[in-house]
Structure 1
Amino acid sequence: MKLYRYLTGPDESAFCHRVTAALNSGWDLHGPPSMTYDAGKGIVMCGQAVTKDVGGMTYSAEMKLSDY
């Protein structure tokens, strides 16, 4: 089974740490990062898709993907 997550957050070190933690937990980058400017908040928002292959499991919408 392949899992997919899209990590988002302000363009700051905490976002980079979340992506780094996912990579070190076996997730792989899926495509390039994205960035957009939120004029209402005055901040740059980042996003990065990650995927992970997990064997022996069946997908369920109740799964907490960050646990894998």
Structure 2
Amino acid sequence: MCSYIFIIGFVQITLLEWDYVLNYLHFNKLVYTYQALEMSLTATLSYPNMNNFSLKRLITSNIVHSDLH
């Protein structure tokens, strides 16, 4: 009986940790989405003659670079 209670408690703690991890990842996703929008706006204003593909590549490289730090 004691082992069942221990297993249930462990599962509940694990689920709480997953909830925390998922919330953290969701928050990071929102931050990166905001950064991407901000960068795309900046890039559009800075490089009005550049085509969309180059802009996307510029923005993606900036996000990947900021993700590594």
- TM-score above 0.5, yes or no: no
TM-score range, shorter chain: under 0.3
- Between Structure 1 and Structure 2, which shows a larger proportion of helix residues? 2
RCO comparison, higher one (Cα < 8 Å, 6+): 1
Task: Give 1 or 2 for the bigger CA radius of gyration.
Answer: 2
TM-score (norm 1): 0.27
TM-score (norm 2): 0.27
